[in-house]
Amino acid sequence: MRADLHVHSNASDGTDPPAEVMRRAAQAGLDVVALTDHDTVAGHAQARQALPAPLILVPGMELSCRLDGPDRGDQQSRGVPGGPSPRGQHSVHLLAYLFDPGDPGLAAETRRIRDDRILRARAMVDRLVDLGVPITWDDVAAIAGSAVVGRPHIARALAASGAIASPGQAFTPDWIADGGRAYVGRYALDPVHAIALVRSAGGAAVLAHPRADRALLVSDSQIAGLTAAGLAGVEVFHPDQPESEQASLLGLTRALGLIATGGSDDHGSLTGHRIGSHTAAPGAYEALLSQATGTQPVQGG
């Protein structure tokens, strides 16, 4: 059973429509794929309709959380230009699987995150304009289309303006990397609260890529704390996590009785088409299924 439990579509910041993502998942020989767009389930309907047999779709979502950050959330969540740069802030991503998409608590929080993403993106554009970059909000909105707007869309607008040679160069301290000159933080959930929300919606919560880079680092003791709060698993196998970190995370999941998941975090052409590059440990998909009651996986065909 090959299960890639972490992929994005253009419902958030991936480049491909959900139907195309499902087609690529099947082509990559996967048995199971989870569509986990940032803070939205908007891609699920199209993915479901386009799902080729015998591929299985796990409806999911990647929630934006913040751990142990100094509480400057009010100013950041309004995306006030000129506010403090969030150097002490600690982003954490939480993968949610098989929750009830109609659950009012979870839906209200994801709506709040999405609304804030727009305020925040607009504030970053304002800062870029202050820095002399010839871009407008309309440029960014046109690139994002109907997707949940995010930094990759701003990066593409920056490149189109000629300020940088390619979108990847936007993620530096000069531009919109965490704490960068034009960076604005955003509203994010406390992960303990997010885990509770996912569980009360019948879903299973998995900590995404805790060792992918320093800005996303979650320590062993913090993972133990989240386990006590109801975390179901940890994403061990991920392209941005060195193999030594994967090995130590695998040991940690065994010690804590957590599910060891994995996924490619494919964003289409933005990350290079890499769906299926990383997959969950054997038995992880079945273990997630046994813990979730909010909705069922979808069988293609």
Between residues 37 and 139, which has the closer beta carbon with respect to Zn ion? 37
195 counts as binding Zn ion under rule CB under 5 A: no
**Piece of the chain touching Zn ion by CB under 5 A; list 65-73, 85-93, 135-143, 165-173:** 85-93
Determine the Cα–Cα distance for residues 48 and 156; give it in Å rounded to an integer: 29
208 counts as binding Zn ion under rule CB under 5 A: yes
Pair of tokens at residue 146? 């109907």
93 counts as binding Zn ion under rule CB under 5 A: yes
Question: Would you give the binding string for Zn ion spanning residues 165-184, x where CB under 5 A is met?
Answer: --------------------
Could you tell me which of 160, 118, 169 has the C-alpha nearest to residue 139? 160
Q: Give min distance, CB of 191 to Zn ion, in A.
A: 13
53 neighbors 23 (Cβ within 8 angstroms): no
265 counts as binding Zn ion under rule CB under 5 A: yes
189 neighbors 197 (Cβ within 8 angstroms): yes
Pair of tokens at residue 242? 């060195």
Determine the Cα–Cα distance for residues 145 and 153; give it in Å rounded to an integer: 10
**Piece of the chain touching Zn ion by CB under 5 A; list 54-62, 66-74, 108-116, 136-144:** 54-62
Q: Give min distance, CB of 216 to Zn ion, in A.
A: 7
Between residues 114 and 127, which has the closer beta carbon with respect to Zn ion? 114
The count of residues interacting with Zn ion (CB under 5 A) is 4
In the 3-class helix/strand/coil scheme, how is 181-236 assigned residue by residue? CCCCCCCCECHHHHHHHHHHCCCEEEECCCCCCHHHCCCHHHHHHHHHCCCCEEEE
Q: Which residue has the tokens 């975090």?
A: 265
Question: What 8-state DSSP symbol labels residue 110?
Answer: H
Between residues 130 and 213, which has the closer beta carbon with respect to Zn ion? 213
Between residues 127 and 267, which has the closer beta carbon with respect to Zn ion? 267
Q: Give min distance, CB of 14 to Zn ion, in A.
A: 9
Between residues 93 and 151, which has the closer beta carbon with respect to Zn ion? 93
Q: How close are the terminal C-alpha atoms of the chain, in Å?
A: 18
**Piece of the chain touching Zn ion by CB under 5 A; list 58-66, 155-163, 269-277, 279-287:** 58-66
> Binding residues for Zn ion, per CB under 5 A?
62, 93, 208, 265
